[in-house]
């Protein structure tokens, strides 16, 4: 199979600024819900979503938690430097780095980087419980359009506590406003658990405990995986063709319990959000390669893995083999890095439906939606624009069934 030649402008539409939701609604589940099934479009309120999901389906959620990743420092000259945490560098493991005391290193974006020379320090002093905490940041080197930043502090406290004191939740750049108090609560899902994302899995922002109660009442199951959403999720496709766009990679983990739930319900799977779908499709490609060669395990899923010239086993066979592999190797969960690109031409294998918000023009997320519903994405988005739906991260939701 060859990667399709598709122009990125194929995913352009005009999105007026006033259609972009600047703030969340007062109640999460009062957002509008667009339902697309069998070529037909209807609408309701999100709190009624379980009425449109048959019993015995499995919803797969992403339970990542947004990190207070924006840190502001000031040079002695008065120049402001913003450090934006991207992912751990040393130690590499998320849980380890949050528990580090006194020192750690992160891969970061740096705002106003030209004002901060390599191997020079920025210093910030906090007063916590009458004690001075002195935080020192050193710009070690540049690395793949980002920077390796070392953090040191003088007290025996965890790095996650440092972030709690000085970090801000990184809301999307298209909101064009500063982080406010409301964002610390509402830019997290009600079930967020594992810190690591710099953007929320926004499809899940609409869910409340009420929706989870209704899922159980209607014999609809749910399970979790964790994909830490990277800053690249906001990167537009600026190249002429999709295949020229380099997608960012993200780390995800999935437990053997979730895999067994997927096997038990397959193919009745609903991905809650584009991040959950990317993780689900990635686990298939990982499992497929493992089934073909168990002696060569690569915990990385490439951008165009769909078009690798290899045999494709059935999802059930691949996942069953994967679970057996985990049992034999006494693994409770897998940690995998994925760069997978889902766009028209990609055959979606791991979900019959997706719950998702309305995405930016000419974005990789919109290309994913087009892979799910074909050219009907234009009808869906035209309907949403003409019927007062709110767009992007704090906007309304949709339940899209695969065409």
Residues 300-338: tens digit of each pLDDT: 999 999 999 899 999 999 999 999 999 999 999 999 999
* Confidence class for position 296, pLDDT limits 50, 70, 90: confident
Give the start-to-end residue ranges of the domains of the chain: 8-65+185-401, 69-168
Both tokens of residue 34?
A: 């667009």
Sign of CA dihedral 107, 145, 249, 231: positive
Class assignment of domain 8-65+185-401? alpha beta
Question: Residue-wise over 151-173: b if at least 16 C-beta within 10 A, else e?
Answer: bebeeebebbbbbeebbbbbbbe
Indicate the SS3 state at residue 277.
helix
Determine if the pTM surpasses 0.85: yes
The mean per-residue pLDDT over the stretch 17-45 comes to 98
CA distance 184 to 180: 7
The mean per-residue pLDDT over the stretch 155-172 comes to 93
pLDDT for the residue 145:
82
Q: Which CATH number fits domain 69-168: 2.40.10.240, 3.40.50.620, 3.30.565.10, 1.10.3720.10?
A: 2.40.10.240
pLDDT for the residue 144:
79
* Confidence class for position 96, pLDDT limits 50, 70, 90: very high
Residue 294 pLDDT more than 80? no
Both tokens of residue 350?
A: 């791991």
Distances (CA, A) of 356 to 164, 213, 273: 29, 20, 5
CA distance 72 to 273: 31
Q: Do the domains spanning 8-65+185-401 and 69-168 agree at the CATH topology level?
A: no
């Amino acid at each position: 199979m060859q990667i399709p030649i598709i122009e990125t402008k194929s995913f352009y539409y005009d999105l007026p600024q006033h259609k972009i939701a600047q703030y969340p609604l007062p109640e999460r589940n009062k957002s509008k819900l667009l339902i697309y099934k069998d070529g037909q479009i209807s609408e309701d309120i999100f709190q009624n979503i379980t009425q449109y999901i048959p019993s015995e389906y499995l919803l797969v959620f992403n339970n990542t938690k947004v990190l207070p990743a924006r840190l502001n420092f000031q040079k002695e000259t008065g120049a402001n430097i913003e450090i934006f945490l991207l992912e751990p560098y040393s130690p590499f493991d998320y849980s380890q780095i949050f528990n580090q005391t006194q020192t750690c290193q992160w891969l970061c974006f740096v705002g106003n980087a030209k004002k901060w020379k390599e191997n020079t320090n920025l210093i910030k002093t906090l007063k916590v419980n009458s004690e001075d905490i002195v935080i020192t940041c050193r710009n070690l080197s540049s690395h793949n359009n980002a920077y390796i930043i070392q953090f040191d502090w003088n007290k025996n406290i965890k790095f996650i506590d440092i972030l709690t004191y000085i970090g801000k939740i990184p809301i999307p750049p298209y909101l064009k406003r500063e982080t406010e108090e409301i964002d610390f609560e509402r830019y997290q899902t009600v079930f967020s658990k594992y810190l690591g994302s710099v953007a929320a899995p926004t499809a899940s922002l609409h869910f409340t405990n009420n929706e989870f109660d209704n899922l159980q009442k209607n014999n609809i199951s749910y399970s979790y995986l964790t994909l830490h959403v990277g800053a690249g999720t906001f990167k537009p496709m600026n190249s002429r063709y999709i295949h020229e766009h380099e997608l960012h990679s993200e780390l995800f983990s999935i437990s053997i319990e979730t895999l067994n739930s997927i096997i038990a319900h397959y193919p009745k799977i609903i991905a809650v959000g584009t991040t959950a779908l990317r993780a689900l499709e990635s686990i298939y490609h990982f499992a497929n390669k493992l089934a073909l060669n168990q002696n060569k395990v690569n915990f990385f899923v490439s951008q165009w893995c769909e078009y690798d010239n290899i045999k494709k086993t059935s999802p059930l066979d691949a996942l069953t083999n994967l679970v057996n592999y985990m049992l034999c190797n006494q693994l409770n969960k897998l940690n995998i890095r994925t760069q997978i690109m889902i766009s028209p031409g990609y055959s979606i294998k791991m979900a019959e439906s997706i719950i998702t918000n309305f995405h930016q023009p000419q974005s990789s997320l919109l290309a994913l939606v087009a892979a799910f519903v074909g050219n009907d994405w234009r009808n869906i988005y035209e309907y949403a624009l003409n019927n007062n739906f709110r767009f992007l991260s704090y906007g309304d939701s949709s339940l899209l069934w695969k065409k």
